[in-house]
A and B are shown apart, each in its own frame.
Chain A
């Protein structure tokens, strides 16, 4: 565990915790953005430049903006008066511990841990691009189609009022 990883991990976890516990909705959204940046830093630290930058570009540049806009347009910036923890928090805690236990048990018993870990491959952006355009071209196109359909759908939803008139 390098110091850099430690800093990034602490930053990400604190930001994520803040996103859950802060009272003001916009503050939560900003904390989420910080958590996104922390994740991106973690990717960069693993030498995954493309994923790291794409994470910032997409999540901080677009998703965080969508979140704050949604928070702003749907309700006021006033902090809610409800309690942060729900009344059944102990039940949630129980479920969490149970899931954690099962997962830990499964992972330690898994055959994967017995295998030798291969050295991390050096992947350049060029290789990612080549792979996307050759081996994975069909999934890429399918995703593109899906997104286009979603885009057109959004436009049609936004247009409906005008058509009615």
Chain B
């Protein structure tokens, strides 16, 4: 492997080697962990800053506006200005709020969002902890954020905040099921819960395509389901009812200001990156280059390139789709996502037991497309889908 590929691993080892001369040996594992943590926080916080400006500019262009273009060249220093603004703003806490819970909620939200990065392989040999049950860890820690959202909404003593929290929790609980079910197919095929081993299972080429799971019928369906569920988990448009500005001010973080408000945003985006990173690991071949000829580009660069691609996709959908209603949201989760995710498990099993070849492709593609079309027909059957006529406007 090229040295460039392992540059960060080597750097860390060198640093630890230097530190070993100064500190007692018992402290070294702690220091090693701290180094990884610092790297993760720095890299993903920077990515958060980059994404906010990309998102604002992208959405602006989608709506034929300029987007922020004042701070720095082409407005790219806007996140710095926003960060300073968040830091120097007055920190308001409502008088009736539950002070302790109100303070703890943003912290409780950011901590799990950062913890999940521990099991994401962001490059060759670049994973903070190689858990055997890494995937389980990811979902277990991620589930803790629901409680934090509830704490934020409840402690604010604000009806909008509480409504937002109720919506958010209901949505996150509902979409967690398709999210986990869509990953189970990968677990079934690879026979492991460790993200590192899952990436290794996608090494090589299958025909002219890389052997990534997204290039199989069940993998493609799983990836699409996963991304939709991830979008909902991150409370992003079109699933942004918990913080729908037009109805709930800002949802569960209505009563937060200053840096705590920024923390909510940070947690939301960190969660988005984490779940996208998991999607890359599970379906898009992790840190691997698509073709052997491209392997001179280091593995971590591939990971972040894929991550940026997914981020662009998220921004694009956010700029396109309008917000759903609560009943539509729940119907979509339970009547569309869940059955498809369950059928996808079956497809993965069929794929596993059939010998490789075109019959396998045909059968599995049919198992994916058939239910999709039928379910789509069934759900749209009784619906009157037409251009809306406004009685008073226009």
Contact = CB atoms under 8 A, between A and B. Distances in A.
Interface string A39-59: 000000000011001101100
Interface stretch (B66-74, B134-142, B354-362): B134-142
A64 B143 CA distance: 11
Interface string A60-102: 1110110011001000010000000000000000000000000
Task: Summarize A's interface: helix, strand, loop or mixed.
Answer: helix
B229 interface: no
B143 A49 contact: no
Given A53-B139, A65-B147, 18 more contacts: A30-B151, A49-B131, A53-B137, A56-B140, A56-B144, A57-B136, A57-B140, A60-B140, A61-B140, A61-B143, A61-B176, A65-B169, A65-B173, A68-B150, A68-B154, A69-B169, A125-B136, A125-B193
B271 to A, nearest CB: 14
Contacts of A50: 133, 136
B150 A65 contact: yes
Interface residues of A, number: 24
A54 B154 contact: no
A49 B132 contact: yes
A160 interface: no
A62 B136 contact: no
Interface string B158-178: 000000001001000100100
A65 to B, nearest CB: 6
Across the A-B interface, give the 9 residue pairs with the lowest CB-CB distance, nearest first: A61-B143, A56-B140, A57-B140, A53-B140, A53-B136, A49-B133, A125-B133, A57-B143, A60-B144
13 contacts: A27-B101, A49-B132, A49-B137, A53-B133, A53-B136, A54-B136, A56-B144, A57-B136, A57-B139, A60-B144, A60-B147, A65-B147, A68-B147
Nearest to A66: B173
A126 interface: yes
Nearest to B151: A30
B6 interface: no
A77 B165 CA distance: 15
A68 B173 CA distance: 14
Contacts of A24: 98
Nearest to B155: A26
Nearest to B157: A77
A33 B144 CA distance: 9
Contacts of B176: 61
B243 interface: no
A62 B173 contact: yes
A124 interface: yes
Interface in A87-122: none
Given A54-B136, A61-B140, A77 B154 contact: yes
Contacts of A26: 101, 154
B192 interface: yes
A62 B133 CA distance: 20
B268 interface: no
B240 interface: no
Given A26-B154, A49-B136, A53-B137, A61 B144 contact: yes
A77 B96 CA distance: 12
Interface of A: 24, 26-27, 30, 33, 37, 49-50, 53-54, 56-57, 60-62, 64-65, 68-69, 72, 77, 124-126
Nearest to B191: A126
A60 to B, nearest CB: 5
B322 to A, nearest CB: 28
A69 B191 CA distance: 36
Contacts of A61: 139-140, 143-144, 146-147, 176
A90 to B, nearest CB: 33
A26 B150 CA distance: 10
A126 B143 contact: no
Nearest to A44: B137
A101 to B, nearest CB: 38
Contacts of A53: 133, 136-137, 139-140
Contacts of B137: 49, 53
A125 B132 contact: yes
Given A26-B154, A54-B136, A77-B154, A64 B193 contact: no
B255 to A, nearest CB: 15
Nearest to B173: A65
B105 to A, nearest CB: 10
B38 to A, nearest CB: 23
Contacts of A33: 147
Nearest to B154: A26
A53 B141 CA distance: 8
A57 B150 CA distance: 16
Contacts of A57: 136, 139-140, 143
